[in-house]
Amino acid sequence: MNVKELMELVVRTADDKRAENIAVLDMEGISLVADYFVICHGNSEKQVQAISKELKDVALENDIQIRRMEGYDHARWVLIDLANIVVHVFHRDDRSYYNLEKLWGDANKVDVDAILAPQQNL
């Protein structure tokens, strides 16, 4: 699985767990840390944990190495490092405070709606 396919899998997995306001920042050429940042939020600690756990489970099912996962117990900002993709799962109240989209405002945004749109039959 290439990095773009992995990013799309992460977006679909987060969406399946009802993550809100999913944003993907293309970090290539901007950050040495990752090619993509995936940012989303849940409305409660339980939902943040559910989204994060599902992302971890799907990564493991697909033999994707999880370098690090932090913040799960407090469920305010869970960071999941998938090497070329860093996933940030925020609690709704904390997302606006940290405002990563503004911090990395020079990054191009990926069209999440296109990823989540159902495949059309030709």
pLDDT at residue number 120: 43
Nearest of 31, 47, 41, 45 to residue 87 by alpha carbon: 41
pLDDT value, residue 101:
85
Q: Say what the pLDDT of residue 121 is.
A: 44
pTM, rounded to two decimals: 0.91
Q: What is the pLDDT of residue 51?
A: 97
Tell me the C-alpha to C-alpha distance, in Å, between residue 109 and each of 27, 74, 115.
9, 28, 12
Going residue by residue through the chain (122 aa), what tens digit of pLDDT does each one get?
899 999 999 999 999 999 999 999 999 888 888 999 999 999 999 999 999 999 999 999 999 999 999 999 999 999 999 989 999 999 999 999 999 888 888 889 999 999 998 754 44
Compute the C-alpha angle 77/78/83, nearest 5°. Answer: 130
Q: Dihedral of CA 48/52/53/55: which sign?
A: positive
Q: Domain boundaries in the chain? A: 3-113
What confidence score (pLDDT) does residue 29 get?
83
Residue 77 in tokens: 């900002």
b/e map 11-23, b = 16+ CB within 10 Å? bebbbebebeebb
Q: What is residue 49's predicted lDDT score, i.e. its pLDDT?
A: 97
Q: What is the pLDDT of residue 105?
A: 82
Are residues 35 and 84 in contact, defined by beta-carbon separation less than 8 angstroms?
yes
CATH for 3-113, options being 3.50.50.60, 1.10.540.10, 3.30.460.10, 3.40.50.620: 3.30.460.10
